[in-house]
Amino acid sequence: MKTLLRSVLCLPVLLLAEPAAPVPVWDGAPPAETLKAKPGQDPKGILNKNGHRTDVMIPEFVVWPAAKPNAPFIVVCPGGGYGILAEEHEGAEVARRLNAQGVGAAVLRYRVPRRDNDKPWVVPVLDARKTIELVRAHAAEWNADPKKIGILGFSAGGNLAARVAYSPAEAGAARPDFAVMVYPAYLFEKDKPDSVLREGPDGVVPPKGPKPVPAFFAHSADDPYPAEGSMALAAKLKSLGGSAEVHVWSKGGHGWGASDRCLAAKEWTNTLGAWLKDRGILAP
């Protein structure tokens, strides 16, 4: 009876994922920082009445470890136009769903708002690459397999994920082992279905050379940031020897995250889980 009671008492602990304390991305002042906090302002960000975080000058990430060792682990990048972070339905709730599938997660609070209006991704890319380095270095502490570290992003966060995984970068720049982009924005030069991918040093097209890491895309056909962008980048990755899977739901618009707002919002994480298993990243 005592053994049974202990098992019952432990069951909620296994079922209810809990995050660890936030981890700073940088040891000391973040590089390339141009903003300063106002007197009394928290440089780690301000939560507004909508639950969105802004004014992040000291980036950090919240770890949601998997229950078992050697699990895949995903750095989650909320969206918000590089101006805010929608860190509940595109962050914490995503981590909960990933944990339920046996995947660890870190919700990244990268620096916002935009430091550069024309190239708003520059500083967030620094934060995301450093986070990948830290996750790999501390993989054992967070039940992660250092060879199965992915990045996942929504909207601007999806753009960030694409850039960290594929954009031209200096030799040795940290790259994930796979990338997940959910309604990624700004992949095209113009946000129109008939536009073309951003190329060159500030683009999202990988340079020729090493095979691109596997990619998973989720989008809605009625998204104002066109699903054609996801399909175009997937086709480019495949042409360079990589693999890519694209899922497009007929309705949903933009910004649905991990919610009950539409069919895509309800289904995409299970579809992602099936893809992770098919790729051998997640155990069946």
Instruction: State the virtual CA torsion across 40, 42, 48, 52 in degrees, nearest 10.
Output: 170
User: How many angstroms separate the CA atoms of 81 and 43, rounded?
Assistant: 19
> Edge-to-edge, what's the strand order for the sheet holding 144-154?
23-24, 60-64, 104-109, 71-77, 144-154, 178-182, 215-220, 244-249
- Helix, strand, coil in percent for the chain, rounding step 5: 30, 20, 50
Task: Write down the domain spans for the chain.
Answer: 23-28+43-278
User: How many angstroms separate the CA atoms of 195 and 220, rounded?
Assistant: 17
For residue 20, name the pLDDT band (cuts at 50, 70, 90): confident
- pTM of this prediction? 0.93
C-alpha angle 191-192-197 in degrees, rounded to nearest 5: 70
Q: How far is it between the farthest Cα atoms of the chain?
A: 67
Residue 282, token pair as written in the block: 């997640």
User: How many angstroms separate the CA atoms of 104 and 159, rounded?
Assistant: 22
Domain 23-28+43-278, classified CATH 3.10.20.600, yes or no:
no
Q: What is the structure's pLDDT at 17?
A: 64
pLDDT at 90 over 90: yes
For residue 184, name the pLDDT band (cuts at 50, 70, 90): very high
Query: Tell me: the pLDDT tens digits for 56-66?
Result: 999 999 999 99
Quick one: which of 136, 112, 21 has its CA closest to 58? 112
Could you tell me if 187 and 233 are in contact, meaning their C-beta atoms sit under 8 angstroms apart?
Answer: yes
Q: What is the structure's pLDDT at 50?
A: 84
Q: What is the structure's pLDDT at 214?
A: 98
For residue 4, name the pLDDT band (cuts at 50, 70, 90): very low
pLDDT at 49 over 90: no
Contacts of 66 (CB under 8 A, 6+ apart): 72, 73, 99, 102, 103, 104, 142, 143, 144
For residue 18, name the pLDDT band (cuts at 50, 70, 90): confident
